[in-house]
Amino acid sequence: MDYHRIYREFIADRKANSRPDGYTERHHILPRSLGGDNSSSNLIDLTAEDHVFAHVLLAKMHGGVMWAPVIAIFGQTIARRIPTRREIRLFALARQKSREAMKGAGNPFYGRRHSTELVEAMRDGTVYELSDGKRVVGGTRHELVEITGVDLPNIARLVVGARKNAKGWYSTAHNPDGVRGSALRSQMCRSKDVVALWHHDGRRWAGTRVEFREQFGARLYFQSGDGHVQGWYRSAEQAAGHEARVKLKAIAAAEARGCIAGSRNPMAGADRRKDAAVHLIGPGGAEYKGSLKAFADNLGIGPSHFATVKKTFAGKRFVGGYQVKSWKGWRAVAFRQGDPLH
């Protein structure tokens, strides 16, 4: 389908018609992330429904970052399939009503202003240094936005060390060598240092990061201090804390609803996963043939992720409109629900 033609005709039609009455939203015909500007020729007022539809077309045309606003609107719906016209109307209506409710007195900050003292206290006047490998520039966060062309959120991440590199710029204080974050993670995952891990189901494992990836099919990289990888934690206390949090959450949910949900359910803890027979090819030519449950248990895949893995191997998982054919380097040669493979 020629989405470029549809988008051109759609914009031309909305420009030809008079300005819509009532609620409208400002739309950049050529998105700023693709080089568009704020000139009047690049701006158009659209209804909420037309604005949502325009972003769906842009995502289908360009992909990549153009999916971000669509996912922000539709959530996980767009990860499974393209929304229907009726869904677009419903989401657009919800978007319109929520924004109208925040106008005027509906906004909790309506009629109020920050004091001059608070504004000055919130303004970060610290001077930071960034480099692109050829020159070193200094300034406040807002000044660095003008100098480097990097947006303010990424400048904030660079100067505190939360991000290693953005558009070629890096912090001389937190990343003096200018190494990219992806390179650091890759180097870390290839390290031959032995690490000890604890699983929330009580298992313990020790080995290198390379061995972890070969055995469990996942990169051993913790995105936060108390994070985990497929249920594996860096300490026994963190693993035990996971079980405690799950139990407390289940009890609180059961008490709030006054039903048999959570830990009060007589089926709580029962394995209700529907098994399947699979023939898989994994990283390095590894081969597996047998029960999908056994495969999941061996890799530490919990019930919450089992359905995702099963959909992937069954060929029923779609992300951004595209079919996902592999999971952690494993792909299905054969998939059969219930019956054994011969």
* Residue pLDDT, tens place only, 297-334: 888 887 778 888 888 898 888 776 678 888 888 989 88
Count of helices and strands (H, E) across the chain: 13, 14
Give domain status of residue 206, yes or no: yes
**What pLDDT is recorded for position 342?**
44
Give domain status of residue 236, yes or no: yes
Q: What is the pTM of this model?
A: 0.36
Are 30 and 102 found together in one domain? yes
DSSP readout, 122-168? HS----EEEE-SS-EEEE-HHHHHHHH---HHHHHHHHHTS-S-BTT
Q: Give residues with Cβ within 8 angstroms of 60, minimum separation 6.
A: 1, 3, 82, 321
**What pLDDT is recorded for position 283?**
85
Are 298 and 266 found together in one domain? no
User: What whole-number distance in Å separates Cα of residue 266 and Cα of residue 259?
Assistant: 12
Are 215 and 291 found together in one domain? no
Are 300 and 316 found together in one domain? yes
**What pLDDT is recorded for position 81?**
61
Are 16 and 95 found together in one domain? yes
Low-confidence ranges of the chain (pLDDT < 70): 18, 75-82, 121, 181, 184-185, 187-189, 223-225, 253-270, 320-321, 338-342
**What pLDDT is recorded for position 213?**
78
Element at 330 (helix H, strand E): strand 330-337
User: What whole-number distance in Å separates Cα of residue 3 and Cα of residue 82?
Assistant: 13
User: What whole-number distance in Å separates Cα of residue 228 and Cα of residue 217?
Assistant: 14
